[in-house]
Structure 1
Amino acid sequence: MQAIDRAALDVQTGGDAELAREVLDLFAGQCRSILPRLADAAAAPERRADLAHTLKGSAAGVGAERVRALADAAEARLRADDGPVPLDDLAAAVAAALAEIGTAQP
């Protein structure tokens, strides 16, 4: 299973390979910025939920469905303030997406 759904990415970018690369690069940057802050258990749950929401939207925009689904689950749990939020699966999904972005051409 691929971490990035190229067909969904093509729909989002109108099949423009240059735009797809830009969108993937933006997504990668957001992942690298958001994930460490999302993992900061000392941060307010509402702030962490907002970060998960941002990551969810970014993932949806590039067809990173597993990242989207896991970020959605993290957001819901954080908004419910339902105790610790496990992020190992989300971190693994982000790592897979970043690896794919780094090695694959749109």
Structure 2
Amino acid sequence: MKPQPIDLEHLSRQTMGDRDVAREVLDLFVQQAGRCLTELGAGGEEGARKAVAHRLLGAARGVGADGVARAAQALEVRPADADALATLRIAVAEAEEFITGLGH
């Protein structure tokens, strides 16, 4: 069975069980992930792509988006890898869909 895109127990610990804070954090994550994907889609040099992937990795770990974190880490290691970017896009889409489905 595939794990949920967001570890809700981790998120609850991070937000001290406050559902409003959790919702706000998830909304901020979605916004940041979108900005990061836009930056990555624009191309750029490897150092800049590594930095964007690293930023997204940290944000994903913060909310418990483990699949996004793994994909961002892979892109950080291989910033020119189109497959790694495609995997990251899929992971972000799955996390966003899950977040939307929470309907807070």
TM norm structure 1: 0.88
Per-residue CA distance 1:71-102 (angstroms, 9 max, x = gap)? 01111123xxxx43421111111001001111
2:65 is the alignment partner of 1:67: no
Structure 1 stretches of 4+ moved >2 Å: 83-86
Could you tell me which residue of structure 2 aligns to residue 57 of structure 1?
58
Could you tell me which residue of structure 2 aligns to residue 97 of structure 1?
95
When the two structures are aligned, how many residues end up with a matched partner? 101
2:82 is the alignment partner of 1:76: no
Could you tell me which residue of structure 1 aligns to residue 15 of structure 2?
13
What secondary structure is seen at the aligned counterpart in 2 of 1:11?
Answer: helix
Could you tell me which residue of structure 2 aligns to residue 36 of structure 1?
38
Separation in 2 of the partners of 1:73 and 1:39? 16
Separation in 2 of the partners of 1:85 and 1:58? 22
Among the aligned pairs, what percent are the same residue?
A: 41
What secondary structure is seen at the aligned counterpart in 1 of 2:78?
Answer: helix
Gaps of 5+ in 2: none
